[in-house]
Chain A
Amino acid sequence: MAPWRGIADHCRLTTAIVFGALAVPEPGFADSILAPAGPVGAGDRIILLDATFIMLAIVIPTILATLAVAWWYRASNTRAAYRPDWTFSGRIELIVWSIPTLVIFFLGGVTWIGSHRLDPFQPLSSAKPLEIEVVALDWKWLFIYPQQNVASINKLVVPVGTPLHFRLTSASVFNVFFIPRLGSEIYAMNGMTSQLNLQADKPGNYFGLSAHFSGDGFSNMHFSTIAVPQAQFAQWIAQARGQGSVLDNAAYRILLRQSVTAPYTYRGVQRGLFDAVAMQKLPPGEGPSADSGAPRPIPGVGQ
């Protein structure tokens, strides 16, 4: 796609944002957080837009008033009244304090309700979710499917319409797990387990990435999220079970080395691996091997 074409597309969307006509996502804007593919992203988006419109209702008039007042009271305008002693008005101060306060009251309500309803730890429904354990490594993502006993690197396959319950930790440094079109981000941190509930409602291939800088290989730390119908998901699991190696203690130690890699799967996972990582029973990521002070190339890049 030619760059100008992209700009044209996105300009249309920008216009759409301004006029609030975002019910239908525009073509060419597929990976936007404003075109969510699941209930969490949709919930986040509504809060985002609501908050924007609440504030625009006061921001736009204020900008226009600033420009109008500045223009009308220009020194060269002889028709404008000069009132050098008009420096205080109790009534205006009352209004000046109340307008932002009322807006914040309103917004505070949105914040309070939104923060609770969209708390990432909150289960989405009473339906039994698919459990996925996520380990952030230098610089790749490990996804463990404990119920299916398979694991995948840099590729997350999920069934459409099923609630997903993620438990996340990091083998080394901080990372943020983020699939823009599915919604809420969450930190993955060493020695801690965070949780996230998401759901994909439409089949598709959604871009996923780390949203917290984690070192030289950070830019390679993205993954694709493939949402497929249930039957296809089962097929993928079966396929994963049939190939690759087992993620045991020894294989995990190799993952601890700094590297970037293309996606692949493990046909089995040592039981309790995630908890062993999260409880720091296994050593943390190795970090760079040489202590040279001089810049190092990233292992794996260009392979």
Chain B
Amino acid sequence: MTLFGKLTWSAIPFNQPIPLIAAAIVMVVILGVLVWVTVKGWVPYLWKEWITSVDHKHIGIMYCLLGLVMLMRGFIDAVMMRSQQALAFHSEGYLPPEHYDQIFSAHGTIMILFAAMPLIIGLMNFVVPLQLGVRDVAFPTLNSVSFWLTATGALLVNVSLVVGEFSRVGWLPFPPLSELRYSPGVGVDYYLWAVQISGIGTLLTGINFVTTILKTRAPGMTYLRMPMFCWTALAACLLIIAAFPVLTATLAMLTLDRYLGFHFFTNEAGGNAMMFMNLIWAWGHPEVYILILPSFGIFSEVISTFSAKPLFGYRSMVIATLFICLVSFCVWLHHFFTMGAGGDVNAVFGIATSIIAVGTGVKMYNWLFTMYGGRIRFATPMLWSLGFMVTFITGGMTGVLLGVPPADFLLHNSMFLVAHFHHVIMAGVIFAVMAGITYWFPKAFGFRLDEGWGQAAFWFAFVGFYVTFVPLYILGFLGMTRRLQHYDVPEWTPWLLLSALGTFILLCGAVCQIVQLAVSIRRRDALRDVTGDPWDGRSLEWATPSPPPTFNFAHLPHVENLEAYWNVKQRAREELRLDRAAPYEDLEMPRNSPTGFVCAFFATIIGFALIWHIWWLMILGLIGAYATFVVFAWRDVPEYVISAEEVARIDSANRAVRQEALLGGQPS
């Protein structure tokens, strides 16, 4: 046994230009950013305001930033896959199997766990406490730990680009392929530890938000007065609490197989790989609802705001959300109808799968009736929402098709399936995230995003989506299976070329999105949101200044009905004055804490050491992590005080602006 375990110089792919160049570029960019930040003297600011921040708004923004960066990484993988398949007719293309396999594995892992999840959780972090009318989440430091553990996972996935290799067995490590015999490299270990560490972060987020939503709402905010997004966040977090331990346990079993010679899923000694399929999908299916339910919540907020109407059939929507939440746990077997479980079992799971569509269908109609009788403004968030509505419905349809066992017997694992899940995740989750980011951006940063570039990004994404994925549906009908590195069937070529063209259109959309951000930052004075309520919003986040102060609300709002802030505005317009301000008091807010960052530092060390079997380093990491916990647990002063004068100063400014906006500057 050597000092560095399995780690040697041969782990660095000196002989392979693509990963090496990619890694070099990434490292140059990271170093460049670090140097720039240091030279500019921003390190103390970043450390105090962001890295050690326990403010849910800052953590939410960091989550979204991480998600967007990883979305780009995952998209680059996608471009490589589409171009490889476009070139690989009777040819090896430009990516040999051992690279191509890593790329599709990384693409799936990154897009679901390190792009979509951080984006959704980031929006939840930023929005939920504001919508509930509270000052922070239930456990602010734990929230910071969650974020940094997620970042650790993302870091480990990216380290695998340079040191060693990533998993080559797909985004879910199905044994026996993922067992030591068939995957002796460190790829699967990178996957396991990255997902385990970030999964613990996600579980903590679930616990944090369920507690926040159940226990810390503003006075008067009963369950049936919560905005729809909070309901969907609650449902998603309940799913996280129920499903993520299953993932942790399943991956732990695979880890035991690989590290300690256990036989849970091996071919030998009575292992049963089929059990892995059951367990991983018992997490995996709820996982997609963890992503899509908050997306539905975002669309509900956006459609209602931009139609200038309350959400239609709110109670029905709540029931539909909880219905989906429950049924999503009863359908996992539809991922492997083709294992031959028999007519009864397949039929029951097939029908359960289509039953979920009832809940989604109800939502679709309620959004439709929300628009009915409204005054619809087609701002960027609304465009994303409409694009979602007309697109998602057919994505749901192809999903139900795959849920009909005899149809699945023809389509299982085909390009039709690939098209289906991109259909619902891209037109569902990614469109929602884009709508949500555009919608809440002014709240977070105090200025709106540029409309023109935003609309261009939407149209490229919308058209690009169809051009990319409709050909994949057709390829499914032509019998093409997923994950092929090369192929010999001439009928597939035109569709693969068309799909690659679609990816290029999507790339234009991504470029527009980046340009939009740059243009908006440059024109931020023209786009400034002075009122704190740029869209004529209806829920409590719009009652705060943009960006909101650390404490969110000077006084916890008293909620009297479903549309808390709309109600306040209406009353102010009727009574020609704002509600009288209650006397201000000192506020206690949680102190910043480096716990999350330090935890993540040690988690990275532990993960890396475990991947490469460097046991002494792992022990050091564990000691460090334990010491961090002890220091945090025995801290003396968990909170600091914001003086009543400071609160009064910030709140009076906000009230003056509201007065101006709502009542045209009349004195109250």
Contact = CB atoms under 8 A, between A and B. Distances in A.
Interface of A: 1, 3-4, 6-7, 10, 14, 17, 28-34, 41, 43-45, 47-48, 51-52, 55-56, 59, 62-63, 65-67, 69-70, 73-75, 80-84, 86-89, 92-93, 96-97, 99-101, 103-104, 107-108, 110-112, 114-122, 138, 172-174, 176, 178, 180-181, 183-187, 189-192, 194-196, 207, 209-219, 222, 280, 284-288, 290-298
A3 B405 contact: no
Contacts of B483: 213, 218
Contacts of B397: 52, 55-56, 59
Interface stretch (B200-208, B217-225, B408-416): B408-416
Q: Which of B346, B386, B404 gathers most chain A CB within 10 Å?
A: B404
A84 B410 contact: no
Nearest to A180: B479
Nearest to B481: A211
Given A73-B307, A216-B101, A111 B375 contact: no
Nearest to B493: A3
B313 A219 contact: no
Interface in B309-335: 309-316
Contacts of A65: 368
B479 A66 contact: no
Contacts of B407: 44, 47-48, 51, 114
B343 interface: yes
15 contacts: A32-B479, A33-B479, A51-B404, A74-B375, A75-B308, A92-B369, A93-B316, A111-B351, A111-B354, A112-B347, A115-B405, A183-B410, A191-B272, A215-B169, A286-B181
Nearest to B360: A100
Contact of B354 (A107, A180, A189): A107
A265 to B, nearest CB: 21
Contacts of A86: 309, 312, 372-373
A293 B185 contact: yes
B273 interface: yes
A83 B347 contact: no
Nearest to A194: B340
A173 B310 CA distance: 54
B386 A209 contact: no
Contact of A114 (B6, B272, B362, B405): B405
A114 B371 CA distance: 39
Contacts of B486: 219
A284 B267 contact: yes
Interface string B345-381: 0110011001101101110111011011111111000
Contacts of A74: 375-376, 378
Contacts of B310: 84, 87
A255 B400 CA distance: 40
A245 B498 CA distance: 46
Contacts of B170: 213
A141 to B, nearest CB: 14
Contacts of B184: 287-288, 290-293
B20 to A, nearest CB: 13
B479 A194 contact: no
Interface string B587-606: 00000000000000000000
A148 B176 CA distance: 32
B358 A121 contact: no
Contact of A180 (B273, B378, B410, B484): B410
Contacts of A187: 336, 338-340
Contacts of B494: 3-4, 6-7, 10
Interface in B373-398: 373-378, 386, 389-390, 393-394, 397
A117 to B, nearest CB: 8
B13 interface: yes
A211 B414 contact: yes
A84 B308 contact: yes
**Number of chain B interface residues as a range:** 35 or more
B372 A296 contact: no
Nearest to B365: A96
Q: Which of A88, A117, A222 has the most CB of B within 10 A?
A: A88
Given A75-B308, A93-B313, 16 more contacts: A7-B498, A59-B393, A84-B309, A99-B365, A104-B355, A107-B400, A108-B354, A111-B405, A122-B343, A172-B267, A173-B174, A173-B177, A190-B267, A284-B267, A288-B184, A293-B164
B274 A192 contact: yes
Interface in B467-484: 474, 477-479, 481-484
- Across the A-B interface, the 4 shortest Cβ-Cβ residue pairs: A180-B479, A100-B361, A83-B373, A295-B98
Contact of A120 (B177, B308, B409): B409
A48 B410 contact: yes
A189 B274 contact: yes
A28 B491 contact: yes
A100 B400 contact: no
B404 A174 contact: no
B301 interface: no
A284 B268 CA distance: 8
A296 B98 CA distance: 7
B406 interface: yes
B648 to A, nearest CB: 35
B657 to A, nearest CB: 24
Nearest to B563: A87
A82 to B, nearest CB: 5
A92 B407 CA distance: 33
A56 B397 CA distance: 8
A217 B98 CA distance: 9
B485 interface: yes
A44 B340 contact: no
A66 B394 CA distance: 13
B407 to A, nearest CB: 4
B540 to A, nearest CB: 19
B666 interface: no
Given A59-B393, A172-B176, A195-B340, A116 B409 contact: no
B252 interface: no
Contacts of B498: 7
B28 to A, nearest CB: 24
Contact of A32 (B6, B96, B378, B478): B478
B171 to A, nearest CB: 11
B186 interface: yes
Interface in B260-305: 267-268, 272-274
Nearest to A88: B313
Interface string B487-520: 1111101110110000000000000000000000
B487 A219 contact: yes
A288 B344 CA distance: 39
B17 interface: no
Q: Which of B182, B483, B487 has the most CB of A within 10 A?
A: B182
B2 interface: no
A3 B497 contact: yes
A65 B313 CA distance: 18
B165 interface: yes
